[in-house]
Amino acid sequence: MHNVRLYELFGICIFASQKYAVLVQLHDLTFTPFISEAEINAGIEEVATKVNADFKDKNPVFLGVLNGAFLFAAELIKRFEGDCEVSFVKMSSYEGTNSSGTVNSLLGLNQSLKGRNVVVIEDIVDTGNTLESIDKILRAEEVKQYKIATLFYKPESYKKSLHIDYVGIAIPNDFIVGYGLDYNGLGRNLTQVYKLKETDNMTNIVLFGPPGAGKGTQADILKNEYDLKHISTGDVFRYNIKNETELGKMAKSYMDQGKLVPDTVTIDMLKTEVRNDLSGKGFIFDGFPRTVAQADALEEFLNEEGTQVSAMIALEVDDEVLVERLLERGKTSGRSDDANEEVVRKRIKIYYEETAILKQFYLKQNKYYGVDGVGSIEEITERLKEVIDGLA
């Protein structure tokens, strides 16, 4: 079931669906899910246990650093088991996504901290500039001792020597929002943490065309040329049939008749294949999608992973040429669905009935490119490369 959360109410727009796989748009930037609520809570519990052990009987002053620490401060202080006082101070060292390096003075401290045990509560320790200013101020206040508790900590970015006593979660050097942290004012109310979405550098090609159009041959060449991962759903099914897996046994009955394997099975299988190679330069999808449901699923899935289909490139070949090619291939390929003219014609018919509709799907997105699939292998490769090179 879809779980669409209406963050539009807060000026935030969510444009995908599953709970931990949604993109969040704040002003001009897009963010992807990074740290779940459960992980945040585990970090808070860990800090709370240590703070209790060190300060339970010391009547500390908790000094929450606004604005970002308000949620963490509330959760940490709720878990504190002794007497305590609470103050909030304000400092800001952030403008936009880069630490500006300048830190303002402390605002809002309206009690003396002289001789007190102080726990500074920070949302995030990044360069450490804010901490350095706080350190100076607390020394001038002549506190008895102070410790620093931070929910998030960026070790790669921290450049100061002050010791950080309690860390909820150490994170890489990404710009994050949510759980108190904002981007130009927005995002503080998000209950999990998101990080800035990396720009999509992947090239994902849907190689399209009727059976026998030459998709497999061309995909083999193009994958080396562009360093892409070639996923042929037909090949994956055949591999499973050969190895007599449950998936293979299930798919075989459909394939032998030239019919499509059910969408749910095919989509799950494709997702598994894609997830294995998400860090690469991109994919050539060969034989997928074949139905609108598959195209929808691919779009949603790639969006969740921060990427998208770059283009559908269709090899256009006449039916009679296809039949001839497939029967010829059947003499040597060992593929039973190529050897029988009736099955071959059935596969081509299904292509026009169920699959050709996808041309409209990608045409609407301006991603459809038709390429003449008749000629020598080299000629056709050149035509395909011209399209791919033009995509950038």
What are the residue numbers of the active site?
215, 290, 329, 335, 347
Nearer to ligand AMP, 94 or 237 (CB): 237
* CB 288, min distance to ligand AMP, A: 4
225 close to 212: Cβ distance less than 8 angstroms:
no
Secondary structure letter of residue 262 according to DSSP: P
Provide the minimum distance between the beta carbon of 345 and ligand AMP in the complex, in angstroms, as a whole number.
12
218 binds ligand AMP (CB under 6 A): no
Name which of 167 and 260 has its Cβ closer to ligand AMP: 260
Residue type, 294: Q
Q: Chain-centre distance of CA 203, in angstroms?
A: 16
Residues in region 256-295 near ligand AMP by CB under 6 A:
258-261, 266, 287-288, 290, 294
In angstroms, give the least distance from the CB of 255 to ligand AMP.
Answer: 4
Task: For ligand AMP, give the closer residue by CB, 336 or 365.
Answer: 336
Cβ proximity to ligand AMP: between 167 and 348 the closer is: 348
Residue window 234-253: x/- pattern of binding to ligand AMP, with contact defined by CB under 6 A: x--x----------------
Query: Site residues for ligand AMP, window 12-71 (CB under 6 A)?
Result: none
Size of the site for ligand AMP (CB under 6 A): 16
Q: Are 148 and 133 within 8 A, CB to CB? A: no
235/72 Cα distance (integer angstroms): 51
CB of 267 to ligand AMP, least distance (A): 8
| Bridge-based pairing state of the strands 29-35 and 24-26 | antiparallel
Q: How far is the CB of 261 from ligand AMP (least distance, A)?
A: 4
By CB under 6 A, residue 88 contacts ligand AMP: no
Cβ-closest residue to ligand AMP? Answer: 234
Cα–Cα dist 180/73, whole Å: 10
What is the spatial distance between Cα 178 and Cα 14, in angstroms, rounded to a whole number? Answer: 14
Q: Of 363, 381, 204, which is closest to residue 282 (Cα–Cα)? A: 204
Shortest reach from residue 384's CB to ligand AMP, in Å: 17
Contact residue for ligand AMP among 70, 80, 226, 254 (CB under 6 A) = 254
Residue with smaller CB distance to ligand AMP, 247 or 255: 255
Interaction with ligand AMP in 344-383: which residues (CB under 6 A)?
A: 347
Comparing CA positions, the residue from 313, 95, 69, 326 lying closest to residue 211 is 326
Contacts of 242 (CB under 8 A, 6+ apart): 248
- Within residues 198-217, the interface with ligand AMP by CB under 6 A covers 211
Q: How far is the CB of 389 from ligand AMP (least distance, A)?
A: 26
- Label the pairing between strands 61-66 and 29-35: unpaired
Taking the C-alpha atoms of residue 384 and residue 336, their distance in angstroms, rounded to an integer, is 29
**Shortest approach of ligand AMP to residue 361 CB, angstroms?**
14
Q: What is the phi/psi pair of residue 316, to 5°?
A: -100, 120
In contact, 123 and 176? CB cutoff 8 Å? no
In this structure, which long-range contacts are made by residues 130-136, counting pairs with CB atoms below 8 Å and at least 24 apart in sequence? 130/65, 130/91, 130/93, 130/103, 131/160, 131/162, 131/164, 132/103, 132/160, 132/162, 133/91, 133/103, 133/105, 133/106, 134/65, 134/91, 134/106, 135/162
* Comparison of 158 and 254: residue with beta carbon closer to ligand AMP: 254
Residue with tokens 């899935």: 301
| CB closer to ligand AMP out of 268 and 318 | 268
Written in H, E and C, the secondary structure of 296-362 is HHHHHHHHHCCCCCCEEEEEECCHHHHHHHHHHHHHHHCCHHHHCHHHHHHHHHHHHHHHCCHHHHH
Closer to ligand AMP by Cβ: residue 287 or 330 = 287
Binding-site ranges for ligand AMP (CB under 6 A): 211, 233-234, 237, 254-255, 258-261, 266, 287-288, 290, 294, 347
